[in-house]
Structure 1
Amino acid sequence: MKRKLLITLATCFITLFCHAVAGMPRTILNLDSGWNFHFSYDIRKNIAPQPVTLPHTWNATDVLNGQLHYYRGAGIYNRQLAYDPAWKDKRVFLYFEGANAVADVLVNNKFVTEHKGGYTAFCAEITSYINADTNNAITVQVSNAARMDVLPLTGDFNVFGGLHRSVWLIVTNKNCITPLDFASPGVYITPTSVNTYQAGIEVLTKLSLPLKGHQMEARTIIKDAAQQIVGSQQTIIGASDEALLQPFDIKKPHLWNGRRDPYLYQVTVQLFQDHQLIDEVTQPLGVRTFSVDAQTGFVLNGQHLDLHGFGLHEDVKDRGSALLKADHQKDMALILESGATAVRLTHYPHGNYFYQLADTSGIVVWTEIPLVGPGGYTGTGFINSPELKAHAQQILREMIRQQYNHPSIIFWGLFNELKLDYDDPREFLTGLQALAKKEDSSRIITCATFLDTDYFNTVSDVIAWNKYYGWYGGRFKDIGTWADDMHKQFPRKPIAVSEYGAGANVLQHQETMNAPAADGNFHPEEWQTAYHEANWEELNARPFVWGKFVWALADFSSAIRTEGNINGLNDKGLVSYDRTTKKDAFYFYKANWSAEPMLYLTGKRFSQRASAVTSVKAYTNMANATLYINDRNRGTASPDSLGRVVWADVTLQEGKNTIAVKTAGNGIILRDSCIWIFGHSSSK
């Protein structure tokens, strides 16, 4: 636990996301406060601006009002930036973690840059735009209006407009490690060969050296988790060098081993000018090997690791995508509690802080660009338009360079559910795969399709399917038959399930299992639970399925949906939109995935019962559990292979019934209970 805390504290200082530290050669200041906001092109006079603190989105509270066409337009953010005399002879940059979806940046009313894409960072130098000894006006116009040259074109999720991630000011010396390489840290760390005895590490540093005539030197230090130096190197930099490659060998490396041992080293690159330290960047290093086999699934450091977890959107009730660190921490805590080993970050690159959490928690990450079903169900998509191609390539390059050093990231994703109605995207996707490999040859490229063919089998290293048997037609156990068929058809292609799930409103219930309409207003929690029990049973029995990703960790907003008696919400999450309620299916996975002793009584929210004779079900990973009804012992039973304990044909008394389950073992005592009411005697 102490080691984890040390690692977590260390990551707070990762290059572009730390506060300024006195005496450091690079100053980094947070600019989240002090902004004013108003919508663009408002012709009313004397409109009072709204004070806001970043992260901010103007769509945070309109998503559940049944507004199919929620506001997608432009807004303007303004703030003052006081000049610091210490910036004299320095370079000043603005760094945006994310502005959704197109941002135009002005300083003192002069245009500086435009960035397209709301889910990757961008950085602009403003040295020549700021005035000394005065306040400087920073203006950012952001638009989330739909455009045919900006991804995503469509999606079953909302595109929240605004400066929905943090903004930073970076001040460096004239010569520096560049922050302008697609807003990356400027330092790229690659394990080149790893075994029990040694790990080869390459550190590539991108430089910006406009000030000539000085002796330049790079010193790179690798420290272990105890802050002991395990490698160091000093290199003289040539006058024309724009990049520097330094190789290292770490003896007997301590591996980053997922949740079992998420061990991190720390790499610091220092830039010296005439023997004085002028810049410094620190990045995490996780040493690991990985592969995917078509027969046996995912392998981490030579051992099979079953990848199971969730899809996750950056979307929380009343905040939209303008998440705080506490929101990310809450989601990671839920992922860890469930016992998940992996997460698919959908359908766009997420904020840097979540990748840091994954690094220190040992969660394997699949992250992807927002190439999501261009055109939806009615549009043409224009996947082969030059503008859209260029934007997809831009976002892919930005995602890889910005997140390159996170050891948790194993999979880069190219797309989700592309349609084939109007154009053939395979040639373009093959080019995207080649670009991803050029940017990062070490990781695995994947994609998520919903077409049961080999159409996309050649455009990525591995492939995954979104399947919803038992929700959008079919039967629960069809997913096993489907997996066997795909494996038989494509025995050399590693396959996964990138999405599977069913909706649930925790206020809706059923005693008799009848399939609800996926697009209807009745989404009983019991059907979602039964769906996941059956689907997991099938998937768990097939180790060749290299990843199983539940759709989704939490409910999220989607303006196109009116179902489950709630407007604008995709209710397939195992946790509620506000993260306060864990649905029964969440605890099913916890019983199957987690080693933490647990016991959970299902159906607690289904308090009003119409049948006197019913069954009671609990989930546990303990040896057995005992049922008590109104304090009477109704028997002890052991869980089945899926962690289920069921007491059938239990009779309820008229009125109030106290249902309790208990278990004990190895010094641990667990209890869970609820009240069920049978009949009309609720006052008893």
Structure 2
Amino acid sequence: MNKQLLKYFFFLLLFAFNQSFAKTDELPLNNNVRKRISFNKGWQFHLAYDVSKHPQKLNVTLPHTWNAKDVLLGNTNYKRETGIYEKSFKVKPEWKDKRLFLYFDGANSVASVFVNQHFVTEHKGGYTAFCVEITDFIKTGELNTITVQVSNAFRNDVLPLSGDFNVYGGIHRPVSLLVTSKNCISPLDYASPGVYLTPKDISAASATVNVLSKLSLTDTAKFEVRSEIRDAEQHLVGSATSAIVDNKQCAQTISIRNPHFWNGKTDPYLYSATIKLLKNGQLIDEVKQSLGIRYYKVDADSGFSLNGEYLDLHGVGFHEDVEGKGSAVDTADYNKDMQLIKEIGANALRLTHYPHGQYFYDLCDKNGLVVWSEIPFVGPGGYSGDGYIKSEALEQQVKQVLTEMIRQNYNHPSIFFWGLFNELKLDHDDPVPFLNQLDSLAKKEDSTRLTTCATFLDNDKFNKVTDLIAWNKYYGWYAGEFKQIGIWADKTHSLFPGKPFAVSEYGAGGSPFKHTENDDKPAADSKFHPEEWQTSYHEANWQELSKRSFIWAKFVWALADFGSSIRKEGDAPGINDKGLVTYDRRVKKDAFYFYKANWNNVPMLYITDRRNISRHKPLTTVKVYSTVSNVQLIVNGTALKSASPDQLHIIKWGNIKLKKGLNKIEVRSGSGDNVLEDSCEWTLE
């Protein structure tokens, strides 16, 4: 090597050395830092009733459910039994001195985990995650077999005991393999991240973030926890380093000057927090979490405010299942639902009737949605059965699920409300004493969020349990008239002064394949759920609800049709058809566009009743949802008068005459390059 080349090589080494220590807040990495490895592929599945020597096994990729198809038959006797999942894998030699954990995002409803035919753990509850350490059961350098027995059979000690939705059996959410050093930030604290971030003392000038890290340490070396908070541009805005005194946890406080608020859809600003575990100065583990700083208030008279400003909370409740997949949905399904939510203009979500997947909560954080998250403590509503029995085993399981939901989702700034139950009854065992215990538990676990519930009973026993309350009301569908929702709201506001309340559900069934030209109310339990009645329902109910700012939130039921084996009405069995879009997410019903016009300020024109293509009345009304003015109607090429939308963004042209045969209906607004238009065709029989 000549002198010139040697000099150049030395320069490169010096440059690299200087660069590695240029940022003093960065620590040298080594192979001890945790790895999170997808464990979704390579599983085999069979139902447990196949007891032959060589049962037929299906190759499956997680998430998976065995109920994706049979629930579509609309029978309540869909398979609620036990399925068996198996996967074999080899442990890498470099993992010999590591700790291994399996992290299940959700297995419905009771899961037993075996490693190399040795029982490791059982978990009850299908909608919260659980984590199990398998280090002591693994053979390094050999093939290891993971077996998971999952049962969705009804049990009176496992939620839900009832409900208007399907309990899809299977490992219906992703699974990961965690590989950590012998000493780590614990993944075993109710399957939480092991790190809890609590913003306190929030003002425009400053905020304090309390950082609590749960630790799992196996030796007595010198340990430190370094916590760093960075802004969206990855600039360090605060940090703390603490020597470990308590080997189970570490509490720290970090101050942030001039905090940038997480401000809903307007500005869903996220910091990032990285918690690092050091052993003798060397980085051996780290956990990263998003952080949103915000404050809020709910008032019985003035409604909801975020960061000191009133925010009219309006949105949807929804189940995560999709036609043909059940609840075994993937990130593409979650992304599609989020796009629908963004298009409709919702700023709030009620995630029903159970905690949803972690990926979706991340989407809510990033998109600025205000979230109500709840446990599957669900009553029978208008059906027979019990959602609660006074049983110590059940009560312990409910408390477990509530604790898991809160700890696993504690760091999500999008979550504002913990829902404790939905539509419990007072017919049999009185749930109220236990509900008071649940409320106390929620406040002990998280003092920064408010508790709420959804009831359909006009009984004040439930009013005193949670911080907030909400009602499921269906005036104009199951009973009553549209206008009663406003009358009821005013009466409730008067009867319970000081108690903030919301409307947690309101909706009506509607099929985009069933139509009417009449205003006759359909029977809720019939096969005939015309799209037009659903549309009228939402127009009238929203007209009343939108005028009442004291209602702290209004949630449409529901974003999408969903599976419910007990349902026999509508044009398809086994489906609750109150969604604004169809079960497969392919068809947006007219009511979807009504809310889009009212909640989303993007320019739009949409002709309603467009799918009612076969007409029998020569005189009709053309109705349009619009966010723009001066909309012109054109019928069969003839331009009629222009009109502008009312306060509900509706335009109606009455007594429009149709000709025999095919009629083309067009609407148009604007000129030049800024033209909005829509069209459809109707046939007068």
Under TM normalisation by the shorter chain, which class is it? over 0.9
- Alignment-derived partner of residue 46 in structure 1: 54
Matching residue within 438, 444, 449 for 2:450: 444
Aligned to 1:425: 431
- In 2, the alpha carbon distance for the partners of 1:374 and 1:90 equals 47
Q: CA deviation at 1:380?
A: 4.6
Query: Which position in structure 2 is the counterpart of 1:676?
Result: 682
Q: Could you tell me how far apart the structure 2 residues matched to 1:494 and 1:326 are?
A: 36
Q: Does structure 1 residue 227 correspond to structure 2 residue 231?
A: no
Aligned match of 2:265 in 259, 263, 278?
Answer: 259
The answer (yes or no) to whether the contact 2:388–2:431 under 8 Å persists in 1 is no
Q: 1:4-19 maps to which residues of 2 (within 5 A)?
A: none
Read off the aligned partner of 1:37 and give its amino acid letter: F
What do residues 455-485 of structure 1 show as CA deviations (whole Å, max 9, x unaligned)? 2111100000000000011000100000001
Q: 1:380 and 1:518 mapped to 2: Cα distance?
A: 23
Q: Deviations over 1:244-270 (max 9, x none)?
A: 111111111100000000000000000
Determine which of 505, 515, 530 is the counterpart of 1:509.
515
Instruction: Provide closer, same or farther for how the CA distance between residues 381 and 63 of structure 1 changes in structure 2, counting only shifts above 3 A.
Output: closer
Instruction: Tell me what 1:202 maps to.
Output: 210
Q: Which residue of 2 aligns with 1:69?
A: 77
Residue matched to 1:348 = 354
Classify 1:333/1:215 alpha carbon distance in 2 versus 1 (closer, same or farther; 3 Å).
same
- 2:88 aligned with 1:80, yes or no? yes
Alignment match, 2:366: 360
* Residue-by-residue CA offset, 1:363-387 (whole Å, 9 max, x unaligned): 1100100000069843355532111
Superposed CA deviations along residues 574-622 of structure 1, whole A, max 9, x for unmatched, are 0000001000000000000001111111111110100010000000111
Residue 144 of structure 2 aligns with which residue? 136
Q: Which string of whole-angstrom CA distances, capped at 9 and with x for unpartnered residues, describes residues 381-409 of structure 1?
A: 55321111101100000000000000000
Secondary structure at 2:337 match in 1: helix
Contact 2:633 2:639 in 1 (8 A): yes
Q: Once the 2 structures are TM-superposed, how far is the Cα of residue 185 of structure 1 from its aligned partner?
A: 0.2
- How far residue 424 of structure 1 moved from its aligned partner, in angstroms, is 1.3
> Gaps spanning 5+ residues in structure 1: where?
1-20, 680-684
Q: Name the residue aligned to 1:543.
A: 549
Which residue of 1 is the match for residue 169 of structure 2? Answer: 161
Q: Secondary structure at the match of 2:574?
A: strand
Paired residue for 1:56? 64
| Offset of residue 498 of structure 1 | 0.2
- Matches of 1:347 and 1:660, distance apart in 2: 42
Q: Take 1:349 and 1:492, find their aligned partners in 2: how far apart are those partners?
A: 29
Q: Name the structure 1 match of 2:532.
A: 526
Distance in 1 separating the partners of 2:631 and 2:258: 45
- Give the letter aligned to residue 301 of structure 2: Q
Q: Which residue of 2 aligns with 1:306?
A: 312
Which residue identity lines up with residue 141 of structure 1 in the other structure?
Answer: Q
1:606/1:377 CA distance change after superposition, 3 Å: closer
List aligned pairs for 1:249-398, cutoff 5 A.
249-373=255-379, 377-398=383-404
SS of residue matched to 2:73 = coil
**Cα deviations by residue, 1:77-124 (Å, 9 ceiling, x for unpaired):** 000021111111111000000000000000000000000000000000
- For 1:150, the equivalent position in structure 2 comes to 158
Letter in 2 for 1:154: S
Q: Per the alignment, do residues 375 and 303 of structure 1 end up closer, same or farther by CA in structure 2, a change over 3 Å counting?
A: closer
Residues 492 and 106 (structure 1), Cα distance of their counterparts in 2 relative to 1, 3 Å cut: same
Cα distance in 2, alignment partners of residues 374 and 393 from structure 1: 20
**Contact 1:381–1:422 (Cα < 8 Å) also in 2:** no
AA aligned opposite 1:223: R
CA displacement 1:632-670 (0-9 Å, x = unmatched): 111110100000010000000110011111112796321
**1:516-567: per-residue Cα shift (whole Å, max 9, x none)?**
0001010000000000000000000000000100000000010001111211
Distance, in Å, in 1 between the alignment partners of 2:519 and 2:493 is 31
2:6 matched to which residue of 1?
none
Q: Secondary structure at the match of 2:568?
A: strand
3-state SS of paired residue (1:559): coil
Q: Residue 283 of structure 1 contacts residue 405 of structure 1 at CA under 8 Å; is this kept in 2? A: yes
SS of match in other structure, 1:676: strand
- Quick check: 1:374–1:382 contact (8 Å CA) kept in 2? no
Amino acid at match of 2:358: N
- Of 666-675 and 650-659, more deviation after overlay is shown by 666-675
Between the aligned partners of 1:539 and 1:624, the Cα distance in structure 2 is 27
Matched, 1:119 2:127: yes
Distance of aligned partners of 1:295 and 1:173 in 2 relative to their CA distance in 1, 3 Å threshold:
same
Quick one: percent identity of the two aligned structures?
58
Is 1:481 the equivalent of 2:487? yes
For the pair 1:174 / 2:171, whether they are aligned, the reply is no
Residue equivalent to 2:193: 185
Q: SS of the residue aligned with 1:128? A: helix
Match of 1:401 in 2: 407
Query: Residue 97 of structure 1 corresponds to which residue in structure 2?
Result: 105
Match among 577, 580, 585 for residue 574 of structure 1: 580
1:45 shift after superposition: 4.5
Distance across 2 between alignment mates of 1:300 and 1:376? 35
> If you compute each CA radius of gyration, which structure gives the higher value, 1 or 2?
2
Task: Give the TM-score normalised by structure 1.
Answer: 0.95
CA distance in 2, matches of 1:404, 1:224: 20
Q: CA RMSD in A?
A: 1.3
Cα deviations across residues 199-239 of structure 1 (Å, max 9, x unaligned)? 11111100011122x1101111100000110001111112x
Q: In the alignment, residue 107 of structure 1 is paired with which amino acid?
A: V
Bigger mean CA deviation after superposition, 378-387 or 522-531: 378-387
User: Which of these residues, 653, 657, 665, is aligned with residue 663 of structure 2?
Assistant: 657
- Is 1:614 paired with 2:620? yes
Q: Structure 2: state its 5+ residue gaps.
A: 1-28
**CA offsets per residue over residues 273-294 of structure 1, 9 Å max, x none?**
0111000000010000011000
Q: Is the 8 A contact 1:622 1:665 kept in 2?
A: no
Amino acid at match of 1:216: F
Q: Secondary structure at the match of 1:25?
A: coil
AA partner of residue 419 (structure 2): G
Letter in 1 for 2:115: V
Mark the CA change 1:136 to 1:535 in structure 2 (over 3 Å): closer, same or farther.
same
Report what 1:623 is aligned to: 629
Residues 132/567 of structure 1: CA separation in 2 closer, same or farther (3 Å cut) = same
CA separation in 2, counterparts of 1:92 and 1:306? 46
Matched-pair contact (CA < 8 Å) for 1:587–1:619: yes
For the 8 Å contact 1:554–1:576, the answer to whether it is kept is yes
SS in 1 for 2:552: strand
Cα-to-partner distance string for 1:396-428 (whole Å, 9 max, x where unaligned): 000000000000000000000001110211111
In 2, Cα distance between equivalents of 1:520 and 1:24: 62
Aligned residue among 599, 605, 619 for 2:605: 599
In structure 2, distance between residues paired with 1:67 and 1:168? 34
Instruction: Return closer, same or farther for 1:665/1:101 CA change in 2, 3 Å cut-off.
Output: farther
Between 1:663-672 and 1:596-605, the stretch displaced more is 663-672
Alpha-carbon distance in structure 2 between the residues aligned to 1:399 and 1:649: 55
1:485-509 Cα offsets, whole Å, 9 max, x none, are: 1000001100100000000111101
